[in-house]
Structures are given as C-alpha cells and as structure tokens.
Structure 1
Amino acid sequence: MTADKFSKPLAWLLLAAIIFVTVSPIGLRPHTVTSVNIDRALAYMVVGLAFAVAYPKHWMTVALLLIAGAVFIEYLQYLSPTRHARLHDAAVKAVGATVGVAIGSLFNRVRAAKANAS
C-alpha cells in the first residue's frame, strides 16, 4: 500500500520537526491562534498518530517511547538560553502523544477489520 510506504518517514520527519521547534530559540517557534498547551498537545497527538500507523504492531512501545521522549525533549530545552523546561509542558506533550497513539491504534484496528472483511 502506498500509504504504508510513506508513514514511517512522515512519522520521523514530524518528530524531527518537534525536536527542532522545542530546542530552537524561542523566536523560531511557530505562532498559531491556539494556546501553547493546545499546540503542544496537538503536535504530539499528530506524532503519536503517525507513529502508531507507521508501526501498528508496536503501539505500546511507541506510546512509551513518545512519553519518555516528551520528557527528554523538554529537558533538552536546558541547552537553549531562551527556553525553559517545565514538567507541566512535558505532561501535556505526553498526554497528546498517548491520545494520538490511541487514535492511531483504533485506526489500525478498523483498517485491519475492513481488510479481513474484504
């Protein structure tokens, strides 16, 4: 399937973008119309969804690694003098990743059920 061919590179590209935005100077952070917490949660939700679709048999590992990654990436902000790491921010990111993985897992189950029904 063509979508499967692009799901892994897309997931890793999205994660790289999150790392860049999180660690780069504050002036490079994109500005949106939503609150910063919603931005964080949505970004990690999309990454969680992408990784769950890319690695459907490893959704639990994906969830655990994204949660740990959210904490680690938040901690990396100590490397930038214009950024600050906060446990609350890491928690928001972890919740977003978990929701994304759950949605991705549900998507995978529905897709598998449709494939088996055909």
Structure 2
Amino acid sequence: MVLDRLVKIAAWLSLAAILFVTVSPIGIRPHDVMSVRYDRALAFTAMALLFVVAYPRHFWACAILVILGAAAIELLQYFSPTRHARLEDASVKAVGATIGVALGFAANWIRPPRSS
C-alpha cells in the first residue's frame, strides 16, 4: 500500500517536473551529459511507466493521455518566448511515452494490480 502511494506521488511529480522543464525559460532548463533527444525520451518513458504502474486499472486512459500529452506538452512551448514547439520533439516524447506504457504494462502483468 505504501509503495502504491509512493508510485502515484512519483508519477505526478514526474509530470510536474516535465511541465516545468518544458515551459520554463531555456536558461534555467537543467542540462546533463546526454543528448536532448535521450533526455526527452527517457523523461517521458519514466513518466508513462510510473502512471501505468500507479493506475493499473486505468491502463488505457493512462496510455492515451501520456502519449497524446506528449504533443500537448510540446505545444505549451508556444506560450514561452524563449522556447519553440517542434513536431520532431513531440514525436520523440511520444515514442518515449509509448515505451513507458509498454514497460508499465509488462510490470503490471508480472505483478497483478492490487489497487486503482
């Protein structure tokens, strides 16, 4: 039960972090040694995995929302003067989300859901 709650918190915190990084001015965006493409894909993979595991009884809703949400979150960059929305970036995010959904499905299949 505690683990289920922690996974839900982690899912929502990952979404908040992605939203912040996506729409914040480019100057305060965190940087690391990985390619930006890998950062995007891994962030959405992790978020999707967390949501699918956190809400196993709502698999389809989570799957659709995180994949379509990748495009929606990319579109939010139109509201930031230092950022730009690109179809290629949205595609990378959607692919990452799709991988996360698949990994979440596999995790839920291995460990049958106990809560919603």
In angstroms, what is the RMSD of aligned CA positions?
1.5
Larger radius of gyration: 1
The structural deviation recorded for 1:57 is 1.5
Q: Give per-residue Cα distances to partners, 1:42-85, cap 9 Å, x unaligned.
A: 00000001001101122221111112111111111011111000
Pairing of 1:1-118 with structure 2 (within 5 A): 1-112=1-112
Aligned length: 114
The structural deviation recorded for 1:86 is 0.2
- Percent identical: 61
Task: State the alpha-carbon separation in 2 of the partners of residues 51 and 18 from structure 1.
Answer: 14
Task: State the alpha-carbon separation in 2 of the partners of residues 51 and 23 from structure 1.
Answer: 21
Task: State the alpha-carbon separation in 1 of the partners of residues 68 and 112 from structure 2.
Answer: 28
The structural deviation recorded for 1:9 is 1.7
The structural deviation recorded for 1:98 is 0.9
**Could you tell me the TM-score, scaled by structure 1's length?**
0.91
Secondary structure of the corresponding residue to residue 104 of structure 1 = helix
Task: State the alpha-carbon separation in 2 of the partners of residues 30 and 59 from structure 1.
Answer: 31
- Which residue identity does 1:19 align to in structure 2? L
Which ranges in structure 2 are unaligned for 5 or more consecutive residues? none
Higher relative helix content: 1
Task: State the alpha-carbon separation in 1 of the partners of residues 33 and 15 from structure 2.
Answer: 22
**Could you tell me the TM-score, scaled by structure 2's length?**
0.93
- Which residue identity does 1:112 align to in structure 2? P
